[in-house]
A and B are shown apart, each in its own frame.
Chain A
Amino acid sequence: MERPRRAAGVREQRRSHVGRLVRSNFSAWVLLLPSILLFIIVMWRPILVGIVGSFCQMDGYTAVGFAGLDNYKAVLSDTTFLTALKNTFSYVFWSLVIGYLPPVIFAVMLNELVHWKSFFKFSIYFPTMVPAVAASLIWYFLFQPGEGGILNMFLGLFGLPSSQWLQNPNLTIPLIVFTMAWRGFGSSTIMYLASLQGVNGELYEAATVDGAGMFSKIRHVTLPQISGVMLLLFVKQIIGVFQVMVEPMTMTDGGPNNASISLNLQSYNYAFNYFQVDKSLALSVVTFLILIVLTVVYFKLNKRVSEN
């Protein structure tokens, strides 16, 4: 009598175990469901709708027919496209010059200091807390051309001629990038600083014993430590700046004479100012494709670098 009862007990236990597994899987999925729905609604579905819509003819915001490649032809043959494309690469170029390397240098410097260190950290991070629109507007006011501009007053103090600032088509992109860098470099610096603080101090001592100078220490001890973060931020920066839109929108609205228009801003103009939604979709798909290519190239390069 003993054995069957035990066997039944085991069977029952196993069944209830399976039951519990199914039940816990089910309840887990229920808890995950809101997130899945939101990601579909907000992230995945719009990308698909956008790609499909770029091949359609749109009336307002509804598709009224198939357009094939017409939208793409219209967008690519628009003279603004080449300007916007060239500008967007120019934004990326300047952001690498103004925004990418300085945080590395500042972090290395800051890591050396013992005096006022937390004050420096606080102040450098501070602009990051200024909202993007507010920062753009502050610099828009500072970059006021003519005699009334505060920066021109400072130039005057040094006996320098006034500048047109954002109104100068050659300066407008670097200045917008500068504004973005002003807001963004603090967080990168703090990130580099965090990884520099993880460097074992004995490495530097060993390098000193080996007779290494400052630059060879930077080259052989400091840089290897932060190269991972550097690569990560490199891609993030390119992908981020390639999609620049709000800053030129706030500071110059793409001007003067389209000198600061970016691909995304042009796409925004198509959608919300010119009411050519289909063209907007086609242009953003083009931007999307360029970005995907850049990302894939990056990963390929990265792989080759780490393999060698």
Chain B
Amino acid sequence: MKRFSEKRGTLISVVDLKQKKYRAVYWSFFAVMVLLVLICLVPVLWLILSSFKDMNEFLQVPPTFIPKSFHPEKIWEAWQSMHFGKYYLNTIILAGGSWLMSIVINGLAGYVLSRLKPKGSTMVFTLILWTMMMPTSVSMVPLFMTFIDFPIFHFSLLNTYLPMWLIAGANAFNVLLFKSFFDSIPISYIEAAKLDGCSNLGIFTRIVVPMSKPVIAVVSIFSINAAWDDFLWPYLVLKDTSLHTVMVQIFTMKTTGYPADLHIIAIMFAIIPPCIIFMIFQKHIMEGFSLSGIKG
């Protein structure tokens, strides 16, 4: 158990806590947090517990929170009968492409705007920043029109993952994240490489990238997670059910009349990967988020 003496100077100081009144305030804060944690975790817990119930208990009135029947084998059967591996694979393909675009295209843009700054690039940067404030509602239908009949080349991108990859390549937020990271790299490294006759691309791949592991890690986690969560564009673009991603699948299951217990298991499958990512990269994610928030 931690001690109060570890407390830093905040609203209620260590000295205050010697008084009963302040201790009561402290523990009531603690109680509020416990309640909040329950609200945060219980729905997911309910989902996981419900996945193990058999059909009878699932439909029972009144429902149970802690299952009386326990059928772990049901989960494996559901995975196979719904062919969920296919949806996982599709989503992994989608996320892989989006990830590559975020790292290469947004990273290069951040590098050029931060370090090379060719004449006129500040205007490009302003235009890119504006897209962060721009409401995206107007572009939904025109973007869909772009994807069914791509300008100049006139081919359709429906039933491919390209639309989502293209959108991932135009992520102002990541460009900003990369740019502000590259801004913090000491100029002397880059100048030394320039004197040695290194090209722009060479400086980027040999000097900047190896120094940028933290920002690459943050952008990777965010872009992979965003691709896993992405629903609207995959839903609009992937008409062929064999191409469905996990999110599209759990959405369409609601309207196509799947049994509710199978649907619950599918939702559980959908949240497991991001939960694992969060468990592993907890620190990266929370730090990366607050960092990007303050800068953005």
Add 10 more A-B contacts to A123-B40, A153-B63 (CB < 8 A): A26-B118, A29-B112, A42-B143, A109-B29, A110-B29, A113-B29, A149-B63, A152-B62, A203-B9, A272-B236
**Contact for B33 among A109, A133, A243, A295, CB less than 8 A:** A109
The answer to whether the Cβ of B264 comes within 8 Å of any Cβ in the partner chain is yes
**Contact for B290 among A156, A191, A239, CB less than 8 A:** A191
Q: Which residues of B contact A190 (CB under 8 A)?
A: 286, 289-290
Q: Is there an interface contact between B169 and A35, defined as CB atoms closer than 8 Å?
A: yes
**Which chain A residues in 201-232 approach chain B with CB under 8 Å?**
201-205, 208, 214, 217-218, 222, 229, 232
The answer to whether the Cβ of B177 comes within 8 Å of any Cβ in the partner chain is no
* Mask: chain A, 261-303; 1 = CB below 8 Å from B; 0 = not: 0011001100110000100110011011001100100000000
B70-78, B80-88, B181-189, B273-281 - interface stretch: B273-281
Q: Is there an interface contact between A35 and B106, defined as CB atoms closer than 8 Å?
A: yes
B92-100, B129-137, B212-220 - interface stretch: B129-137
Listed A/B pairs (10) with beta-carbon separation below 8 Å: A28-B116, A29-B118, A32-B108, A35-B169, A41-B170, A124-B40, A130-B274, A134-B250, A246-B231, A264-B137
Please, which residue of chain A has its CB at the minimum distance from the CB of B136? Answer: A243
Please, which residue of chain B has its CB at the minimum distance from the CB of A102? Answer: B36
Q: Is there an interface contact between B47 and A204, defined as CB atoms closer than 8 Å?
A: no
> What CA separation (Å) do A295 and B135 show in the bound complex?
10
The answer to whether the Cβ of A66 comes within 8 Å of any Cβ in the partner chain is no
Q: Is there an interface contact between A138 and B47, defined as CB atoms closer than 8 Å?
A: yes
The answer to whether the Cβ of A64 comes within 8 Å of any Cβ in the partner chain is no
> What CA separation (Å) do A32 and B108 show in the bound complex?
7
Q: Is there an interface contact between A127 and B40, defined as CB atoms closer than 8 Å?
A: yes
Q: A25-B119, A243-B136, A267-B140 are in contact. Are A115 and B278 (CB under 8 A)?
A: no
**Which chain B residues in 242-270 approach chain A with CB under 8 Å?**
247, 250-251, 254, 260, 263-264, 267, 270
> What CA separation (Å) do A49 and B133 show in the bound complex?
19
Interface set of A (CB-CB < 8 Å, partner B): 24-29, 31-32, 34-36, 38-39, 41-47, 49-51, 53, 61, 106, 108-116, 119-127, 129-134, 137-142, 147-150, 152-153, 156, 182, 186-187, 190-191, 193-196, 199-205, 208, 214, 217-218, 222, 229, 232, 239, 242-243, 245-246, 250, 263-264, 267-268, 271-272, 277, 280-281, 284-285, 287-288, 291-292, 295
**Contact for A39 among B25, B65, B127, B271, CB less than 8 A:** B127
| Distance of A43 from chain B, by nearest CB (Å) | 5
| Distance of A77 from chain B, by nearest CB (Å) | 21
The answer to whether the Cβ of B90 comes within 8 Å of any Cβ in the partner chain is no
Q: Which residues of B contact A242 (CB under 8 A)?
A: 135
Count of B residues near A, CB < 8 Å? 105
Q: Is there an interface contact between B271 and A130, defined as CB atoms closer than 8 Å?
A: yes
Q: Is there an interface contact between A126 and B169, defined as CB atoms closer than 8 Å?
A: no
Q: Which residues of A contact B135 (CB under 8 A)?
A: 239, 242-243, 287-288, 291-292
Q: Which residues of A contact B11 (CB under 8 A)?
A: 108, 111-112, 204, 214, 217-218, 222
**Contact for B121 among A28, A126, A222, CB less than 8 A:** A28
Interface set of B (CB-CB < 8 Å, partner A): 1-4, 6-13, 15-16, 25-26, 29-30, 32-33, 36-37, 39-41, 43-44, 46-47, 59-63, 65, 105-106, 108-109, 111-113, 116-119, 121, 124, 127-128, 131, 133-146, 148-149, 151, 166-167, 169-170, 172, 175, 199-201, 204, 225, 228-229, 231-232, 236, 247, 250-251, 254, 260, 263-264, 267, 270-271, 274-275, 277-278, 282, 285-286, 289-290, 293-294
Please, which residue of chain A has its CB at the minimum distance from the CB of B58? Answer: A148
| Distance of A283 from chain B, by nearest CB (Å) | 9
Q: A123-B41, A141-B260 are in contact. Are A32 and B250 (CB under 8 A)?
A: no
Q: Which of B10, B15, B200, B267 has the most CB of A within 10 A?
A: B10
Closest CB pairs A-B (n = 5): A201-B9, A46-B139, A194-B290, A46-B142, A28-B116
Q: Is there an interface contact between A131 and B270, defined as CB atoms closer than 8 Å?
A: yes
Q: A43-B131, A110-B33, A123-B41 are in contact. Are A38 and B2 (CB under 8 A)?
A: no
Q: Which residues of B contact A61 (CB under 8 A)?
A: 144-145, 148-149
